Structure 1
Amino acid sequence: MNQTSIWQQILDHSHRADPYPLYAELRKTPVVRVEDGSYVVSTYREIVALLHDPRLSSDIRNLPELAAGASAQGPDEGPATLPPSFILTDAPEHDRLRRLLTRNFGPPHRPDRIDSMIPHMFEIVTSEIDGFVGKDRSGTTRVDIVDDFAYPFPVTVICQLLGVPRQDEPRFQAMSDAVVRAGDPSTGGIVERQHRRAKAVADLGQYFAQLLDARHGRHGDDLLSGLLSGDGDETPMSPDEILSNAALLLVAGHETTVNLVTNGMLTLLRHPEVLDRLRRGDEPDLAARVVEELLRYEPPVQFLSNSRNTLDDIEIAGTTIPEGSPVVLVLASGSRDPDFVPDPDRFDPDREHNEHLGFGGGIHYCFGAPLARPETQIALSELAHRLKNPRLVVDPPPYRASPSLRGPRHLLVDLDGVNPGLHRPP
């Protein structure tokens, strides 16, 4: 079987429940050119090298196909677009935007931002699990871990962080879904996907523009207010830069965490011995180790595509990737590379050295990692403590469409009841 057909199978939804055997086949040729002209990189060391190589650009404006498409359009054609968010830029533009975001997100300027949110995270999780009571079916409680828990939890958290009204969720969720669908590499070519994405992000940016206009200069303690105030020595973000980066954070701040929590609960139910250890609560660092192993074993972001492109010829693993080529980095494959990770297909939170690509690497290392880690640790720990005899209704569950942002669409679980929540001091 050739590598191109393997890649097409990975993109095919019929393999969404378990793409890992296909990744093993893909790794036999670490770098392969596939049908749309992209170069797919699937082995750990090669992915890490490219994540740190300045010749691999993350700026979508460097893609030759997009430049050609833009020049072919008239001045009034195509969707109205916002400037790229910081993850779709290179240094030094990336560094400036990321510094401005970080100033309002975490250390060194806001070292207490995430820690101060943890008591509220516990409150949200407690309330959601309390809500499972009453969903009885002939003495058995059936819940959907996605709709009843894993989705509303991070949405509530990211709304609090950004300063977005939680009641607007039905409005922005449709736009967020459109952004995710636009980046699906199984639907259309690179140019078509980027135009869809630009339109979806512009629509979400318009929502934020209306939200900020409605504030009439009344700023709070949220991240958006911090960006608007523009404190610090650097030139603040332009209004359009605020809109594009707010749209990114809203989408990324909940889509990936939904998948991480859901993949985590599914994995724990498939490994009841680990679930039992987490339930007992006598290993203080177990939740952190479980989450790190999940990021390696069942990451929410399977690969990076749609923007990476070469600024020069790059030779890697015996293959030359020509200048101007799109590149796909298959992070989930790299994290299961047996040449780097012993026994990679075994879920083992007791690994001594757990280096993974679950949050990417290089200058684009996941901005939201400091938030996603405690969110997932709290979510999985509380589910383990409070759910009585949880068991899967369907295995494998139905999966979302996207092959890159991979996670179950629903995760039905039957319970024998819900244990009382623990009192946690603020």
Structure 2
Amino acid sequence: MSHRPSQGTTDTAQRPEPLSYPFWTTEGLDLHPDYRPLRDQPLAKVRLPFGEDAWLATRHEDVRTVLSDPRFSLAEAVRRDQPRIGRMPRAGGGLIATDAPDHTRLRSVLSKEFTARRIERLRDRVGRIADGLLDRMVQAGPPADLSEDFAFPLPMTLICELVGVPREDHGRVRSWADIVCSGSASPEVLQKEAADFFARVNGWLHAHRQEPADDLLTLLVRACDEDGVISEEELVGVLNELLVGGFVTTTNQIGNFFSLLLLPRPDEEDLLGRLRAEPALIPKAVEELLRFVPLLNGLTLPRYALEDTELGGVLVRAGEPVIVSQAAANRDPEAFSDPDRVVFDRPGNAHVSFGYGTHYCLGAHLARLELQVALERVLARMPGLRLAVPVAELRWRSKQFFSGLHELPVTW
């Protein structure tokens, strides 16, 4: 591992003009090269398409500090012109817009449902959903779009089942998530779609109040109506985060994982072949792929300094926002030996893909399970899996929240 020279603390007044951010990756799953030189400098000031300028943390140590130190507030962003990619600022009301003690109170309603032991009980159900999707793909015959036919419906079906969304509304959950994550919807379109979606949410809540079920919706309703732990507004906010956050990131990572495994990697290990030969490696492979694949293009939620705080060689003044690049932190040579190489059996893989500290991803165990099952079932069911088009014909996303392919055409 490298050793950086120590940096003195730099006051904000001495910093150069902000860098344009995010650093859009136009093709492939490699980390954008502009991140690398930033690790050897004090924190950089960046300017996003909307909102005020922010500090950008890229080092593993600095990122973990911002994510876990209570001096950096998520809740404060709701009251500010928060730095962001899309035009519409993030609203309050859910887990990702609160600090302790409110965040702790909201999280306590659901935390027991997302423990590693509780989630492990879902492995057979996830496997059955995966096999059902693969049955349809095999019956229809190759080629297929692994993203549309598998990566989307697997986690979306599961989170809708866990929450208690009627099957006929599963598609509406997806279309709402597409709108939210596009970053390009006009305020008028977003307002119209939100009114329709939350009218449906209110219908689900009414139905569950009339006929409780063994699902997360009923759990939230009881926490609101009987226990008084959360308000109606908070219930709706948490539910929205559960549904959108419960499948969008996992969907994209399933597609990205297989993209990485299927793309030719000259002079490097045959990753797909190794997983076929050693399926017991899949849990560790999932952790390494989570570390290696840069999922978000500058989407991390800003945190505001509540007091003057030294960070990464810079004095961040009270009231200034900081955003972090988890992707850059996951490739920090101070934290990971040979960080730009995929090492399935990497020891001590302390990646920050699920965050760190109080706001560590509630659904991390669920995402891990889905990613493991996705790799296991596809590799077992589709011998000879390969790209169905030349690499040059693959369409990579550009200037969107999530890195990856628009579609993943495969054959087997």
Given candidates 230, 233, 242, the residue that maps to 1:240 is: 233
1:161-183, CA deviations, whole angstroms, 9 ceiling, x for partnerless residues? 1001232123222221222134x
> Does residue 1:23 correspond to 2:28, yes or no?
no
> In the alignment, residue 258 of structure 2 is paired with which amino acid?
M
Bigger RCO of structures 1 and 2 (CA < 8 A, at least 6 apart): 2
> In the alignment, residue 292 of structure 1 is paired with which amino acid?
E
Whether the 8 Å contact between 2:31 and 2:327 is mirrored in structure 1 is no
Query: Relative to structure 2, which stretch is displaced further, 333-342 or 396-405?
Result: 396-405
CA shift, 1:295, in A, is: 0.9
Report the counterpart of residue 9 of structure 2 in structure 1.
none
Q: Distance in 1 between matches of 2:145 and 2:305?
A: 42
Q: Distance in 2 between matches of 1:34 and 1:301?
A: 16
SS across alignment from 1:357:
coil
Q: Give me the TM-score of the superposition, normalised by structure 1.
A: 0.80
Report the counterpart of residue 278 of structure 1 in structure 2.
275
Change (3 A) 1:42 1:198: farther
Structure 2 unmatched runs, 5+: 1-15, 83-87
Whether the 8 Å contact between 1:302 and 1:406 is mirrored in structure 2 is yes
Report the counterpart of residue 151 of structure 1 in structure 2.
152
Report the counterpart of residue 407 of structure 1 in structure 2.
404
1:166-219, CA deviations, whole angstroms, 9 ceiling, x for partnerless residues? 32123222221222134x8xx9xxxx99x9989876664333112222345201
Q: Distance in 2 between matches of 1:250 and 1:368?
A: 11
SS across alignment from 2:34:
helix
1:105-163, CA deviations, whole angstroms, 9 ceiling, x for partnerless residues? 234xxx76423322111111111111122444xxxx21111001000100110011100
CA shift, 1:333, in A, is: 0.3
Alignment RMSD (CA, Å): 3.0
Report the counterpart of residue 249 of structure 1 in structure 2.
242
Given candidates 26, 42, 57, the residue that maps to 1:41 is: 57
Change (3 A) 1:46 1:249: same
Report the counterpart of residue 348 of structure 1 in structure 2.
343
SS across alignment from 2:37:
helix
Aligned length: 381
Whether the 8 Å contact between 1:257 and 1:372 is mirrored in structure 2 is yes
CA shift, 1:233, in A, is: 10
Given candidates 317, 327, 335, the residue that maps to 2:330 is: 335
Change (3 A) 1:83 1:197: farther
> In the alignment, residue 266 of structure 1 is paired with which amino acid?
S
Given candidates 218, 236, 242, the residue that maps to 1:225 is: 218
Q: Distance in 1 between matches of 2:45 and 2:189?
A: 24
Whether the 8 Å contact between 2:45 and 2:55 is mirrored in structure 1 is yes
Structure 1 unmatched runs, 5+: 67-78, 416-426
Query: Relative to structure 2, which stretch is displaced further, 217-226 or 28-37?
Result: 28-37
> In the alignment, residue 387 of structure 1 is paired with which amino acid?
M
> Does residue 1:106 correspond to 2:114, yes or no?
yes
1:362-401 to structure 2, matched below 5 A, reads: 362-392=357-387, 393-395=389-391, 397-400=394-397
Q: Distance in 2 between matches of 1:328 and 1:198?
A: 27
Given candidates 4, 13, 21, the residue that maps to 1:7 is: 21
1:260-279 to structure 2, matched below 5 A, reads: 260-270=253-263, 273-279=270-276
Q: Distance in 1 between matches of 2:207 and 2:395?
A: 40
Whether the 8 Å contact between 2:133 and 2:150 is mirrored in structure 1 is yes
Q: Distance in 2 between matches of 1:199 and 1:323?
A: 37
SS across alignment from 2:391:
coil
Q: Distance in 1 between matches of 2:173 and 2:189?
A: 17
Change (3 A) 1:354 1:266: same
Change (3 A) 1:86 1:333: same
Change (3 A) 1:246 1:16: farther
> In the alignment, residue 124 of structure 1 is paired with which amino acid?
I
Q: Distance in 1 between matches of 2:245 and 2:329?
A: 22
Change (3 A) 1:200 1:342: farther
User: Identity of paired residues, percent?
Assistant: 32
